[in-house]
Amino acid sequence: MLLFNIVYGILAVISWSAFAYKLRDLIKDPGNRELRLLCLAIATFATPFVVAAPWAYVRIDRLIGITNIATLITYTSVAVCLASFLALLVSWSSAQDRIKLWHRLLVAYAVVTVGSMITLFSLADVSDGEHHVDFDVHYAETPYITQFLLVYAVLFVVGMTGLTRMCWGYSKAVDRPWLRRGLRVVAVGAVFGLGYGIPKVVSLTWDLLGTSPLHFISVVVAPMSASISAMLFAVGFTMPAWGVGLDSARARVNEYRAYRRLLPLWQAMTGAHPEVVLLPDLYPSNPRRAFRDDDLSFLVSRMVIEIRDVQLALRPHFDPAVARAVRELSQVQAKPADEVEAIIEAAQITHALRAKAAGKTEHHAAAVPHDPAAGDMGGERDWLIRVADAFDNGAFVDEALAKADAGDALTAEAKRS
């Protein structure tokens, strides 16, 4: 019993949390039919994990005064849940006439099924004690209960088959990544649902002919399969909403990391040419505050633009000897070609900043900075992050600059002689 209480309790929390998450959207848009169907579906599959938990099952029976009434509540909730999920998926179809027809058929099937279940349960005698775990097996041969369970199990299999087919089919047609993932998670959940429904149908049908050997699977394995199914439903049907939020959070973290990695390079370059900073008040005095800045993406874009502006101003100080020195040292240390380009750019910037600070008036042939992004802002940012990393790790750059200075000194000595 403890295992069922724990598993059902965890799934109840997950499912009702999913309901609360989508209810916020429904409150904002109460006229949205799809949101109403989704909230109804989530609420009705969350309900059984409260009602069917052994600790709650007994108390509900005593509160209402009907033995095993919690089983009827559980199974009718699942029936409404499946009909709601299928109606939601049907509503996504572009064929409006077919939507109306299928909605009517689904509603009619659900009403007939629930009505039949209530009638059969009322006619049966299930008053010999509470059977929250083994209700299906204990009353398998009880008049009317076999039919009650079979009507429910058939609806369950039909519903799960429809969900599997429709969710997987729609997942191939949609272009929103999180919606596609969510539909596939639901499809997998429906497969686990079939792991509950099919053994139930087979076992109940077998009981009509004799005694089924599948009672253990029906009582233990099938409910656990249904629990996994419900958990996947809770995740899958809310994934399009929280997945977008997850992407936004990931994007903000990436922007903040970009900001922190670009910051040393930006500070050094704008310190030499402060006039390029268009909006000085945009930059927080404490870099940690940037994470809470609503304009973080814009802030990083401004840093990229201003770094490039300073590069243009420093181009007369870019020395071909620096590039040669970096390439020679990189060849010795077997550095990758794309990393070499970033180091060259960082070394040229360092050399140019030092030359400007020393008041030198060098006028080398202006080399065009490496630009693999071809103007794409995201690509520019990623490239300059690599340059900033090389700039911040100055040991190799200093060695290359020392080699370039030594070469320049030898060249100057040769010219004098």
Domain final position from 215, 248, 281: 248
Average pLDDT, stretch 160-171?
Answer: 88
Does the residue 299 lie in any domain? yes
Whether the pLDDT of residue 414 is over 50: the answer is no
Which residues have C-beta within 8 Å of that of residue 325, sequence separation ≥ 6?
A: 347, 400, 401, 403, 404, 407
Domain identity same for 64 and 114: yes
What pLDDT, on a 0 to 100 scale, did the predictor assign at position 112?
92
Domain final position from 188, 214, 248: 248
Q: How far apart are CA 5 and CA 221, in angstroms?
A: 16
Does the residue 260 lie in any domain? no
Domain final position from 248, 263, 284: 248
Domain identity same for 36 and 178: yes
Does the residue 374 lie in any domain? yes
| 303 contacts 259 by C-beta, under 8 angstroms | yes
Whether the pLDDT of residue 138 is over 60: the answer is yes
pLDDT band with cut points at 50, 70 and 90 for residue 364: low
Domain identity same for 186 and 38: yes
What pLDDT, on a 0 to 100 scale, did the predictor assign at position 170?
86
pLDDT, tens digit, 9 for 90 and up, residues 173-201? 888 899 899 999 999 999 999 998 888 88
Q: How far apart are CA 347 and CA 230, in angstroms?
A: 58
Domain identity same for 105 and 66: yes
Region for residue 334 given its phi and psi (left: phi exceeds 0; alpha: psi -120 to 50; beta: otherwise): left
pLDDT band with cut points at 50, 70 and 90 for residue 22: confident
Quote the percentage of the chain above a pLDDT of 90: 22
pLDDT, tens digit, 9 for 90 and up, residues 77-123? 988 988 888 888 777 765 566 666 777 787 888 889 999 999 999 99
Domain identity same for 157 and 33: yes
Domain identity same for 226 and 321: no
- In this structure, of 218-222, 319-323, 400-404, the range with the lowest mean pLDDT score is 218-222
Does the residue 254 lie in any domain? no
pLDDT, tens digit, 9 for 90 and up, residues 224-241? 888 788 788 878 877 887
Does the residue 352 lie in any domain? yes
Domain identity same for 315 and 231: no
Domain identity same for 197 and 297: no
Does the residue 172 lie in any domain? yes
| 403 contacts 329 by C-beta, under 8 angstroms | yes
Total number of domains constituting the chain: 2
Domain identity same for 178 and 39: yes
Domain identity same for 161 and 25: yes
Structural domain range at position 327: 273-416
Domain identity same for 193 and 341: no
pLDDT, tens digit, 9 for 90 and up, residues 30-74? 988 888 888 898 899 789 888 988 888 888 988 999 999 999 999
Does the residue 137 lie in any domain? yes
What pLDDT, on a 0 to 100 scale, did the predictor assign at position 368?
57
Does the residue 267 lie in any domain? no
